[in-house]
Amino acid sequence: MRALCASNLFFSYEKDRPVLQDLSLEVREGEILAILGPNGSGKTTFLHLLLRELRPEGGDIYFFERPASSYSRKELSLILALARQEERVAFQFTVLEYVLMGRAPYLRPLEAPGKKDLEVAFEALKATGMESLYNRYLTALSGGERQLVIIARTIAQNPRIFLLDEPLAHLDLKNQKRLLDILLDLKKRGKTIVFTTHDPNSAALVADRVLIISNGKSLAFGEVRQVFQREVLSAVYGVKLEVDSKSGRPLIYLENGTSRV
């Protein structure tokens, strides 16, 4: 089944300055889609359109063969969860309190989280390696720790589709590997994942398909091996790259062969 289908999307913040133009793609249930592109290419805007925080000026979005506009906010919160690259928290919350916010779609108005919600929250913290920090305030965390806690809150929400905006941005190499392992584990559980990234090598490690956006338009969409071509990636990143596919998954290098992107 198609978990997500977008066709001919168009969106602009200012008249005559489109951010997304004629963007189309589909993602099957249990599939990982990586979205790559330079800053300002429309990656984050696309995620906000999926979450219906923004409304497309043209085109259609479907979740599980049903128009996105037909879902209530409650229904959408059970289907979608977004882990933002930066998230401002207005009040002093502990890590556990923040992760428990992911359980809100399962609670009645003013209902307090119960035993099951606490168990789910701690499991999410354990999955991200943040369980020892459960009683620490968010404001006391490093950028990488905050990013993993945001991921934990998303896991606690247990949506069918995970949306992650630059989830690797603040993580060191150890935690980048941890996150990629989390994505693969979610896939094994039948979850659908859409994540944006600047790193084609990370995308190559876990993605089933890749979308490359530039100036709001799709430059390439398809399986990793099909999309990760030297000419396409060099044009997107503005630097000459080489693609080595001998080991199975493509590995992208700068043209001199000594540096990984």
User: What pLDDT sits at residue 254?
Assistant: 82
Q: Tell me the torsion sign for CA atoms 187, 200, 261, 248.
A: positive
With beta carbons less than 8 A apart as the criterion, state whether 201 and 260 touch.
Answer: yes
Cα 61 to Cα 103: distance, rounded to the nearest angstrom:
25
- pLDDT category, 240, cuts 50, 70, 90? confident
pLDDT at 258 over 70: no
- pLDDT category, 257, cuts 50, 70, 90? low
**Considering the domain 2-228 in this protein, what is its CATH number?**
3.40.50.300
Global confidence as pTM:
0.93
Which range is least confidently modeled, 75-79, 182-186, 241-245? 241-245
User: What pLDDT sits at residue 19?
Assistant: 93
User: What pLDDT sits at residue 7?
Assistant: 96
Nearest to 164 by CA among 245, 47, 18: 47
Q: Which residues are 137's β-sheet partners?
A: 94
Alpha carbon separation from 217 to 22, 33, 232 (Å, rounded): 7, 17, 13
pLDDT at 15 over 90: no
Q: End-to-end alpha-carbon separation of the chain, Å? A: 34
pLDDT at 190 over 70: yes
pLDDT at 260 over 70: no
With beta carbons less than 8 A apart as the criterion, state whether 21 and 196 touch.
Answer: no
Q: What percent of the chain has pLDDT over 90?
A: 74
Per-domain residue ranges for the chain? 2-228
Average pLDDT, rounded, for the chain: 92
User: What pLDDT sits at residue 90?
Assistant: 67
pLDDT at 252 over 60: yes
Length of the chain in residues, anyone?
A: 261
Cα 161 to Cα 167: distance, rounded to the nearest angstrom:
15
Which range is least confidently modeled, 96-100, 122-126, 233-237? 233-237
φ, ψ (nearest 5 deg) of residue 84 = -80, 155
pLDDT, tens only, 121-163: 999 999 999 999 999 999 899 999 999 999 999 999 999 999 9
pLDDT at 181 over 90: yes
Neighbours of 236 (CB within 10 A): 19
Q: Which residues are 23's β-sheet partners?
A: 9
Cα 107 to Cα 94: distance, rounded to the nearest angstrom:
20
Q: What's the token pair of residue 113?
A: 């989280």
Alpha carbon separation from 242 to 33, 35, 237 (Å, rounded): 22, 20, 12
Nearest to 7 by CA among 28, 33, 26, 27: 26
pLDDT, tens only, 32-48: 999 998 888 899 999 99
pLDDT at 57 over 60: yes
Cα 188 to Cα 158: distance, rounded to the nearest angstrom:
14
pLDDT at 237 over 60: yes
Write the DSSP symbol of residue 202: H
- pLDDT category, 16, cuts 50, 70, 90? confident
Cα 232 to Cα 239: distance, rounded to the nearest angstrom:
11
pLDDT at 61 over 70: yes
User: What pLDDT sits at residue 179?
Assistant: 96
User: Can you tell me the mean pLDDT for 229-244?
Assistant: 86
